Structure 1
Amino acid sequence: MTETTNTTLSQEERGPAQSAGDQQGPGKLEMVLGISSTGHLVTDPVAKGTFFHPIGNGIRCVHGGELKDTTLLQGHTDVVNCVAISPNGACLASSQLGKHTDVILWDAVNLKKRSVLCVHDFGVQDLAFSHDGKLLASMGSTKDDRIYIWDTSTSNYVCNASLKGRSFESVSWRGSLDERTGSYVFVTCGNSGVFVWTVNPYTGSLSAPVECNAGSLKRHCTCCVFDTHMGSQDLFFCGTTSGDVLCYTYKSVILKHVFPVSKGRINTMVAVPQTDLILIGSEDQHVYAFDCRAGASNKLVQVESGIVSIALGASSGSEVHMFVSTHDCTIWGVTCTASGGRWVASEVAKLEENHSCAITCLTTTAATAAGNEYWFSSDTKGNICAWDSDCKMRLKLNLGYNGPKTMGNLLGQRSEDSKVIKVVTSMVQLPGPDGPTLLCGKSDGNIQLFSIQETPQGGLSLKSEWQVDQAHKDAVVTSVTCDGVIMASGSSHGEVKVWDFGTRRLVSSRKDHVSAVTGCELIQQGQVVVTISKDTKCKYYNWAKNISGVFFVMEASRLNGLCITRPDEQLLVSAGSDKYLTTWNLANTETVFSVQAHTQEATCLSLSPSNALVVTGGADRVLRVWGTAQGNLRATLEGHCGAVVCVKFLSEHKIISADDSGAIILWDCAGC
Structure 2
Amino acid sequence: MAEDLRLDSVIGIGGGVPNGLLLHPDGSTLIYPLGSTVIIRPKGDARRQEFLQGHTDKVACIAVSKSGRYLASGQVTHMGFNADIIIWDFETRQMVHRMALHKVKVQALCFSHDDRYLASLGGEDDGNLVVWNVELGQAICGSPTANDFVLTVQFFHNDSTRLVTGGNYNLNVWEFDEANRKVRPAECHLGLQKRVCQSMVVDERDEFVYVGTKTGDVLQVSLGPKLFKQSGPKPFIGQGVSCLIQLPGGDTLVAGGGDGSITLLRAATLKAACSLQLNGGAVTSVVLSEGPARDGSFLLYAGTARCNVYLVRFDARDNKLTSTQVQSCHHEKITDVCFPANYGDVFATCSLNEIRIWHAAECRELLRIQVSAKMPDVECLCIAFMEDGKSVISGWSDGKIRAFGPQSGKLLYTITDAHVAGVTAIVGTSDSTKIVSGGKEGQVRVWRIGQESQTLISSMKEHKGPVNAIQVRRNDSEAVSASSDGSCIIWDLARFVRNNSLFASTFFKAILYHPDESQLLTTGTDRKITYWDAYDGQVIRNIEGSKSAEINALAISADGEAVASGGADKEVKLWGYDEGHCFAVGRGHSGAVLKVKISPDLRKVVSVGEEGAILIWDYISPRSLSAPRD
Q: 1:200 to 1:274 in 2, by over 3 A?
A: farther
Counterpart contact for 2:368–2:409, Cα < 8 Å: no
Select which of 573, 592, 604 maps to 2:521. 573
Measured after TM superposition, the shift of residue 655 of structure 1 is 1.8
4+ aligned runs moved over 6 Å, structure 1 = none
1:119 and 2:101 aligned: yes
Structure 2 equivalent of residue 152 of structure 1: 134
**1:154-233 equivalent positions in 2, closer than 5 A:** 154-177=136-159, 184-207=161-184, 209-228=185-204, 230-231=205-206
Matched, 1:263 2:263: no
Q: 2:370 aligns with which of 379, 383, 398?
A: 398
What does 1:177-326 align with in structure 2 at a 5 Å threshold?
177=159, 184-207=161-184, 209-228=185-204, 230-231=205-206, 234-260=207-233, 262-264=236-238, 265-293=240-268, 295-299=270-274, 301-305=276-280, 306-315=282-291, 318=294, 320-326=298-304
Kindly indicate whether the alpha-carbon contact (under 8 Å) linking 1:441 and 1:448 is maintained by their aligned counterparts in 2: yes
1: CA distance, partners of 2:618 / 2:56? 27
Which letter maps to 1:281? G
Amino acid in the other structure paired with 1:57: S
Residues 451/317 of structure 1: CA separation in 2 closer, same or farther (3 Å cut): closer
Aligned equivalent of 2:390, options 436, 439, 457: 436
Q: In structure 1, the residue corresponding to 2:248 is in which secondary structure? A: coil
Match of 2:599 in 1: 650
Task: Spell out, residue by residue over 1:363-392, the C-alpha distance to the aligned partner (whole angstroms, 9 max, x if none).
Answer: 10369xxx995421111x222112124221
Match of 1:422 in 2: 378
Give the match's secondary structure for 1:110. Answer: coil
Structure-2-length-normalised TM-score: 0.89
- Mapped to 2, the partners of 1:187 and 1:524 lie a distance apart of 65
**Alpha-carbon distance change, 131 to 42 in structure 1, aligned in 2, over 3 angstroms:** farther
1:307 offset after TM fit, Å? 0.4
Unaligned runs of 5+ in 2: 623-630
Matched, 1:356 2:331: yes
User: How many angstroms does 1:326 deviate by?
Assistant: 0.2
Residue 480 (1) aligns with residue 430 (2)? no
Q: Is contact 1:41-1:51 (8 Å) kept?
A: no
Q: Which amino acid counterpart does residue 201 of structure 1 have in structure 2?
A: E
Q: In the alignment, which residue of structure 1 is the partner of 2:555? A: 606
Name 1:71's counterpart in structure 2.
Answer: 50
Give 1:54's aligned amino acid. Answer: P
The alpha carbon displacement at 1:450 in A equals 1.5
* Residue of structure 2 equivalent to 1:180: none
Separation in structure 2 between the aligned mates of residue 622 and residue 65 of structure 1, nearest angstrom: 30
| 1:452 counterpart SS class | coil
Check whether the contact 1:26–1:670 (CA below 8 A) recurs between aligned residues.
no
2:87 is the counterpart of 1:105: yes
Question: Which residue matches 1:18?
Answer: none
Does structure 1 retain, via aligned residues, the 8 Å contact 2:23–2:287? no
For residues 293 and 67 of structure 2, what CA distance do their matches in structure 1 show?
20
Question: 2:310, 2:341 → 1: CA distance?
Answer: 29
Q: Secondary structure at the match of 2:418?
A: coil
Residue by residue, what CA displacement relative to the aligned partner does 1:469-523 show, whole Å, maximum 9, x if unpaired?
Answer: 11112x1211111212332111112211222233532222222212111111223
Question: What TM-score do you get using the length of structure 1 for normalisation?
Answer: 0.84
CA shift for structure 1 position 526: 2.7
Alpha-carbon distance between aligned partners in 2 of 1:395 and 1:377, rounded to the nearest angstrom: 11
- In structure 1, the residue matched to 2:626 is none
Distance 1:548 1:224 in 2: 65
| 8 A Cα contact 2:250 2:267, kept in partner | no
Give distance in 2, aligned partners of 1:337 and 1:129: 32
Find the partner of 1:467 among 386, 411, 414.
414
- Answer whether contact 1:30 1:68 (CA < 8 A) is retained: no
Gaps of 5+ in 1: 1-23, 178-182, 403-418, 454-460
- Secondary structure at the residue paired with 1:395? strand
Structure 2 vs 1, CA of residues 542 and 28 (structure 1 numbering), >3 Å: closer, same or farther? Answer: same
Question: In structure 2, how many angstroms separate the alpha carbons of the residues matched to 1:26 and 1:225?
Answer: 41
Q: Which amino acid aligns with 1:499?
A: W
Aligned counterpart, 1:457:
none
Q: How many residues align?
A: 605
Q: How far did 1:60 drift?
A: 2.3
Could you say what secondary structure the match of 2:192 adopts?
Answer: coil
Structure 1 match to 2:6: 28
Partner of 2:481: 531
Write the deviation string for residues 366-421 of structure 1: whole angstroms up to 9, x where unpaired: 69xxx995421111x2221121242211333332346xxxxxxxxxxxxxxxx672
Q: Which residue of 1 aligns with 2:442?
A: 494
Instruction: Pick from 507, 512, 519 the counterpart of residue 469 of structure 2.
Output: 519
Contact 1:359–1:378 (CA under 8 A) maintained in structure 2: yes
User: Match for 1:184: what amino acid?
Assistant: T
Give the structure 1 partner of residue 358 of structure 2.
Answer: 387
How do 1:84-95 and structure 2 match up within 5 A?
84-95=63-74
CA contact (8 A) 1:36 1:53 kept: yes
1:133 to 115, 131, 146: 115
Q: 1:92 and 1:610, CA in 2 relative to 1: closer, same or farther beyond 3 A?
A: same
Q: Letter of the 2:416 partner, please give it.
A: D
Aligned mates of 2:59, 2:4 — CA distance in 1: 29
What secondary structure, in the 3-state scheme, does the structure 1 residue paired with 2:405 have?
A: strand
Q: Which moved more, 1:603-612 or 1:150-159?
A: 603-612
- Does 2:279 match 1:329? no
SS at match of 1:359: coil
- TM-superposed deviation, 1:63: 4.1
Q: Distance in 1 between matches of 2:212 and 2:497?
A: 68
